[in-house]
Structure 1
Amino acid sequence: MRGDLLDVYAEVRAPLLHLANYAVGAFGERLDRHATEPGFQAVLAYEGEHPVGYAYGNRIEDGDRYWQRTVPAPSEMYTLPPAVALKEIGVRTAWRGTGTARRIHDALLASRDESHVTLMVNKAAGDGMVHALYRSWGYTDIGHSQPSPASPRLTVMIRPTA
């Protein structure tokens, strides 16, 4: 599954792979680290045997570094109960605009018991279309984060899981 996920990632992020934060190797290291965190879950979508998209996330709790890096500090209504952090979602170009990303997203959340799901997005990605897509899925901006020095400043968004 890891190999399929890396293959899809490489195509999805192809325009950015020259940037250190987006390099396949850096992503692989993040994936390996995230896979050891509590509540890790991944969903891959296939057409036949061809992987077309993925999403993964894990449980975060109050005091998690995810929340510590969010500015301004999020409300306790989001941080005190455990939440699921959607760490990555991506769909190959040919499957964009088909609802595949939303189906993968919903499949990931279907078995989760956390009250909220949060994600980070580069507001400039896709000329703002990715941010607008997440807003159409019910996400609301709650702050900003820069997860690493190599990462761009990201917008932190949240919504109920159900």
Structure 2
Amino acid sequence: MTTTPAIELRTFTALDTVRGDLLDAYADVRAPLLHLPNYAVASFRERLDRHGTEPGFTAVIGYADGHPVGYAYGNTIERDDRYWQRTSPTPVAEYTERPAVALKEIGVRSAWRKTGTARRIHDALLAAHDEPYVTLMVNPAAGDGKVHALYESWGYEGIGRSRPSAASPLLTVMIRAIC
């Protein structure tokens, strides 16, 4: 029986020191999808660089033996943010009247899936914020619907749809309270 190395969670509020670790982990996590334009490493790099300059940027990376095994990052969004403007139908004021956290990306290397690592990283990211809500977008077809179901099990509920870019599939916008 092999034991899984302990995971150290590290929180970052600047992209410059962790950009390489995020790109490396992303390329491995999304390897089966990298042939699709929206999932290509170059597309992710552009999004990451943009997101890293946005207000409230926070990244949490899980490390095992000094290597990144999973990550999540997000930032604070306001009522007039394009995130909300692209959501249809328009979200109710309760969700947009105060700043919220937009979880922009989360991923865990395959060897670390189904170990609770994604949830630990997710929860550490939320612990770094004091906004009342967290929102994310998910491809409802991802993992044959399993990713959407996982977010529901974490307390998220669907509130609309969005297509963030021309290359993006139609995504489900989900939200939950940060307790």
Which letter does structure 1 place at the counterpart of 2:69? V
Q: Does 1:35 align with 2:21?
A: no
Separation in 2 of the partners of 1:36 and 1:108? 17
Which letter does structure 1 place at the counterpart of 2:30? R
Which letter does structure 1 place at the counterpart of 2:144? D
Please report the TM-score for the alignment, with normalisation by the length of structure 1: 0.99
Q: Does 1:144 align with 2:161?
A: yes
Match of 1:18? 35
Compute the displacement of 1:111 (Å): 2.1
Match of 1:67? 84
Q: Does 1:100 align with 2:117?
A: yes
Match of 2:128? 111
> May I ask how many residue pairs the two structures share in their alignment?
162
- Please, what is the CA RMSD of the aligned residues? 0.5
Give 5+ residue unaligned stretches, structure 2: 1-17
Secondary structure in 2 matching 1:7:
helix
Separation in 1 of the partners of 2:112 and 2:76? 28
Compute the displacement of 1:152 (Å): 0.6
Match of 1:54? 71
Q: Larger helix proportion, structure 1 or 2? A: 1
Give 5+ residue unaligned stretches, structure 1: none
Match of 2:104? 87
Higher radius of gyration, 1 or 2: 2
Match of 2:140? 123
Please report the TM-score for the alignment, with normalisation by the length of structure 2: 0.90
Q: Does 1:45 align with 2:62?
A: yes
Structure 1 vs Structure 2: percent identity of aligned residues?
A: 74
Secondary structure in 2 matching 1:112:
coil
